[in-house]
């Protein structure tokens, strides 16, 4: 039996795990991070250059939490000296009377976050890249933007190491024993003991927690990238983040031209259920054709897809997170089921998980994320 006992062992070093490691280490905890792949890998949910950050939600508790999430990202920028959050503003689109856009406006109003209804003329004057009809609801929100996602993960991990965290890459966890006096984590390279275990393993969560049957479904998702000839009009200072509920019920989103891959457009959700270990990560042509068709009608100057990549969602039935302790072991904490909209919350979830590991409680209302709601 190894003699050293860590304060906390983290399993998974993606968006949530890296942020949790940072907050714990900054609080002087003795932290071990176990990652089955290399940091920044492309097999899960945290890779890629951009993720939307936004206040607007149709569920008010997310809008409230985002107030702190924004602040935590700015704190990370200040400490690291890197720009990680880029503000572009956003437009939420839907056919006239769309319930989702209406609920978003209500949530923003309730949280005291400014937004504006725009008419079509005002919208196309501000953003002539779009083609829209006269029977659309258009909601503008000035604080929306995107995060430099891959760099956020690496920055959290680098700072965690500077504060003393030990990070072991290419270390696959094979079992977690909660029956011992001190919880023990078994890997292919040895075993480790920790007073607290935090699972931030994304699509591999249920592999580690078979005994509690969490309602998590891993789905294959895809994103498309565009490199228009006139790229300047799609740069972050000329083009907004956008979302649209289509008449077919799809949730389409997009972001400006950023980094090596270009502007991004994708459909949220509706992916096939897969195993993270056997998923075919080859992009599907039918999906690319569907997104290209949308782009051709809505933003024709973007052109056609030049590159597409696959990522994974780990979804709950209600698309709300799981942030809780193991129902049979309070020394094991779980952050999972972020359902394709969690990355913007990494900075805050890392803080919440750190507080739970250190004191058993958090100042934030996480009641919507409890396991016992299922």
Active site residue 82: no
CA distance 37 to 334: 20
The DSSP code for 201 is -
Determine whether 264 is an active site residue: yes
The arithmetic mean of pLDDT across residues 290-297, rounded, is 98
Q: Which of 41, 42, 47, 68 is catalytic?
A: 47
pLDDT of residue 3: 78
Catalytic (active site) residue 50: yes
Min mean pLDDT across 122-126, 137-141, 186-190 is at: 186-190
Position 254 confidence tier, pLDDT thresholds 50, 70, 90: very high
- Banded model confidence at residue 83, pLDDT cuts 50, 70, 90: very high
DSSP state of 271: P
Q: Lowest-pLDDT range, 80-89, 162-171, 175-184, 197-206?
A: 175-184
Note if 373 is an active site residue. no
By three-state DSSP, how is residue 58 classified? coil
| pLDDT(1) > 60 | no
What are the structure tokens assigned to 197, written together?
Answer: 């275990």
Catalytic residue selected from 51, 326, 341, 351: 51
Which candidate in 264, 298, 326, 351 is catalytic?
Answer: 264
Which DSSP helix (H) or strand (E) runs through 347? helix 346-359
- Give yes or no for residue 2 having a pLDDT over 80: no
Taken in order of first residue, the domains within the chain and their CATH numbers are: 5-46+150-213+318-373 (3.50.50.60), 91-118+131-142 (no CATH), 217-315 (3.30.9.10)
Q: Is 344 a catalytic residue?
A: yes
Q: What is the mean pLDDT of the chain?
A: 97
Q: Which of 50, 171, 205, 314 is catalytic?
A: 50
Place of tokens 């195993």: 275
Cα(59)–Cα(66) distance, rounded to whole angstroms? 12
Q: Is 156 a catalytic residue?
A: no
Q: Is 106 a catalytic residue?
A: no
Residue 41 has pLDDT above 60, yes or no: yes
Angle at 46 between CA 29 and CA 225, to 5 degrees: 155
């Amino acid at each position: 039996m190894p003699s050293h006992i860590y304060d906390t062992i983290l399993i998974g070093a993606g968006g949530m795990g890296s942020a949790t490691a940072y907050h714990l280490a900054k609080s002087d905890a003795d932290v071990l991070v176990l990652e089955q792949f290399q940091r920044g890998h492309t097999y899960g949910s945290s890779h890629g250059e951009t993720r939307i950050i936004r206040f607007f939600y149709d569920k008010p508790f997310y809008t409230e939490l985002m107030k702190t999430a924004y602040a935590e990202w700015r704190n990370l920028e200040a400490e690291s000296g890197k720009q990680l959050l880029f503000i572009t503003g956003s437009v939420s689109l839907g056919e006239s009377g769309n319930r989702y856009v209406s609920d978003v406006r209500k949530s923003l109003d309730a949280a005291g976050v400014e937004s504006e209804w725009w008419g079509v003329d005002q919208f196309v004057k501000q953003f002539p890249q779009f083609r829209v009809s006269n029977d659309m609801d258009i909601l503008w929100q000035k604080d929306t933007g995107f995060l430099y996602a891959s760099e956020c993960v690496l920055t959290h991990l680098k700072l965690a190491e500077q504060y003393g965290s030990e990070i072991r890459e290419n270390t696959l966890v094979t079992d977690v024993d909660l029956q011992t006096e001190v919880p023990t984590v078994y890997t292919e390279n040895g075993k480790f003991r920790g007073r607290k275990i935090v699972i931030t393993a994304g699509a591999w969560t249920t592999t580690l927690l078979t005994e509690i049957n969490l309602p998590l479904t891993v789905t294959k998702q895809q994103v498309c990238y565009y490199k228009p000839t006139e790229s300047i009009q799609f740069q972050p200072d000329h083009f907004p983040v956008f979302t649209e509920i289509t008449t077919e019920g799809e949730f389409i989103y997009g972001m400006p031209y950023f980094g090596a891959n270009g502007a991004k457009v994708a459909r949220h959700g509706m992916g096939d259920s897969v195993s993270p270990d056997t998923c075919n990560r080859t992009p599907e042509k039918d999906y690319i054709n569907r997104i290209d068709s949308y782009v051709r009608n809505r933003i024709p100057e973007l052109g056609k897809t030049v590159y597409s990549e696959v990522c994974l969602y780990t979804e709950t039935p209600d698309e709300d997170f799981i942030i809780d302790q193991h129902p049979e072991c309070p020394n094991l904490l779980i952050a999972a089921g972020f359902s394709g909209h969690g990355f913007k919350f990494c900075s805050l979830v890392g803080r919440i998980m750190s507080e739970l590991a250190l004191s058993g409680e958090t100042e934030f209302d996480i009641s919507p994320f409890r396991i016992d709601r299922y």
